[in-house]
Each structure stands twice: as structure tokens, then as C-alpha cells.
A and B are shown apart, each in its own frame.
Chain A
Amino acid sequence: RALRGGRSSGGAGSGGGAAMDLFGDLRRMNKRQLYYQVLNFAMIVSSALMIWKGLIVVTGSESPIVVVLSGSMEPAFHRGDLLFLTNFHDDPIRAGEIVVFKVEGRDIPIVHRVIKVHEKGNGNIKFLTKGDNNEVDDRGLYKEGQNWLEKKDVVGRARGFLPYVGMVTIIMNDYPKFKYALLAVMGAYVLLKRES
């Protein structure tokens, strides 16, 4: 019995032929082929995860790639730009650097520039940030009563950037239907792809 072979136009009319072929394929696959496809899919997902974890280790940052969400750093960065971060422990924080930080208790990371640094002899640093496009510094964004940021608040330092690429993430966030549709299409493609 041939498991593979040319696609015979088994009974499906010309209209809707492609979709019928796909489902035809699905039914013709036996269990072993299905498991094989699922494993293929799992391998792709695991590889992607491994690459991401590897990046986290190599850069020292919990989130080595971030998308710019606001216009507070224009005209340098716009909403939808992608930033690449590093967070090496021995890298000192210096005025002028672009840092991505999280305010205690808030999930959203903020990308702004360091404008003031006070470092003690023992390495204790406190610093103040401000968005290039903002009139005032970030004290209004920090926690109630907090006047400075510390090393522990830093997610990473911006080392490189790509414009526009992050827009996909923003669209997926704002229009969840788009995200599900994209996932469904990707899932269908991987599961049904036949190596001939």
C-alpha cells in the first residue's frame, strides 16, 4: 500500500479542490505519520524556545528583545521598533545610556535615557531617567515616594535596534483575533506539511 505518492484527484471537484485535498491528506495519514508530524512540530517549538533561552543567558537580560511601546523616545525610536538589550553585571550604568527598566510592581518595561547617576564607592548605584521626547524626568513614573532607580530595576541596556519589526507584536496584542488566526494558520501548515 503506498503511503505517499502523487496526489490523485480523488473525486473532488475543481471548486474548493485545495481544501478538500488537505482534508483528504489528513484522513489518509495513518497514526504513525500523525505522530511524526506532531513531533516535527514539537521540535520546531522546542528549538525556538531554546534559542530564546540561549539569548537570555548570553545577554544576561531576562528579556533580550523588547518592542518600543510609546513615543517617549522619538525621534530616535518609534512605537513598533525592536530593541536588543544586554545586561552584563559588570557594565556600569552611565549618563546617556538608554536603559530598559521596570518600575516595581508594574509589568510594562520602559525605555528611557539615564540623565543622572550617583554611585557610591561600594558599587551602590542610583540613577534617574527621562524620555528624550518628554519634558520632565521619570520621577512621576516611579513608585510612590521613589526618587531613584537601582540596578535591580534594570532589564537591560539598549545596544542595537531594528525599526518597524516589532509592529507585528503590537498588532497581535491589540487585535487578539489576528494572533489566533496567525497561530491557526501556522499550526495547520506545520501539521499538514508533507515532505515529498
Chain B
Amino acid sequence: LRKNVEDFTGPRERSDLGFVTFDITADILNGKMSIFDWNVKQLFLYLSAEYSTKNNALNQVVLWDKIMLRGDNPRLSLKDMKSKYFFFDDGNGLKGNRNITLTLSWNVVPNAGILPLVTGSGHVSVPFPDTYETTKSY
């Protein structure tokens, strides 16, 4: 599982807004077998950013998600993706934040039964720069 990012921050109103672009290479497995067994209807995959700020001890923001149905290829190879959702902080905690951890997780939706939430192994830490970008070249 690998992610590469480049990013910059820009202020909107009074909260920090981060922009992240990323690549994802992943193989979703259940142990050694494909995750799609007889009781898996679909997977809800999401990329979340977790970090702490002065305002909040823990912040989690979902940047991107995807629904993978039974029958789809469990291998992901996405390049140059932009976040689907605005990465707003609750405050100004993104500027200069050196440690934003990006993790890929997924919710297994069975045909019937338990709904587990699984976190993929392998995560990437990204720093945000110390200054704001004034031009929005997103």
C-alpha cells in the first residue's frame, strides 16, 4: 500500500483548507485470499487524514471514497487523484503541521451479517508547509 502526495494549504474564511493529491496502489485481501468471498456484497473504501492540532487532540477527515462492488478488481492503481471532499480543519491547525497521516480503510458490507471496518496496513505521513498559498492553482 503506497501513497505519494504533494500539497499546499490555503485559508478559506477563517479555517485552514488543505489540498492533497495522491497516488494509491493497493491490493485488498483477507489474509491471503481475495476479500470478495461469498458473503461480501461490496467494499466502501475511504482515504482518511488523521492529525492533531492545538484546537483538537484528534482530527479525522475523509478525503476520498470509492465503492467497490463484488466482481470489481480488488487491485487499485490510482494516480494523481485529487481529494473528493474539502479538507477543512476546525481552525488553523494545518499550517505548518508536520504530521498528517493518510490511511486507506474499508467497510466490508456483507450480504447479511457483521459490518467490519478494516484499516489497511501501510500509511503515509505528510507535512503541510508553513505558509499559505495565495493563488489557487488547484
The residues of A with any CB-CB pair to B shorter than 8 Å are 75-77, 94-98, 113, 115-121, 126, 132, 137, 158-163
Contact = CB atoms under 8 A, between A and B. Distances in A.
27 contacts: A76-B44, A76-B109, A95-B50, A95-B62, A96-B44, A96-B48, A96-B105, A113-B107, A115-B61, A115-B62, A116-B60, A116-B62, A117-B60, A117-B61, A118-B55, A118-B58, A118-B59, A118-B90, A119-B58, A119-B59, A132-B65, A132-B67, A137-B85, A159-B115, A160-B115, A161-B113, A161-B115
A162 B112 contact: yes
Contact of B114 (A95, A116, A132, A159): A159
A75 B59 contact: no
A115 B85 contact: yes
A137 B84 CA distance: 12
Given A76-B41, A76-B44, A132-B44, A161 B60 contact: no
Given A75-B69, A76-B41, A117 B59 contact: yes
Nearest to B57: A121
Contacts, number: 75
Interface residue range, chain B = 20 to 34
A95 B58 CA distance: 11
A120 B48 contact: no
Q: With a 10 A CB-CB cut-off, give which of B59, B60, B65, B117 has the most chain A CB atoms.
A: B60
Nearest to B112: A162
B111 interface: yes
Contact of A76 (B42, B105, B117): B42
Interface string B102-138: 0001010111111101000000000000000000000
A158 B67 CA distance: 18
Contact of A119 (B56, B88, B107): B56
A163 B112 contact: yes
B126 to A, nearest CB: 17
A116 B56 CA distance: 13
B22 interface: no
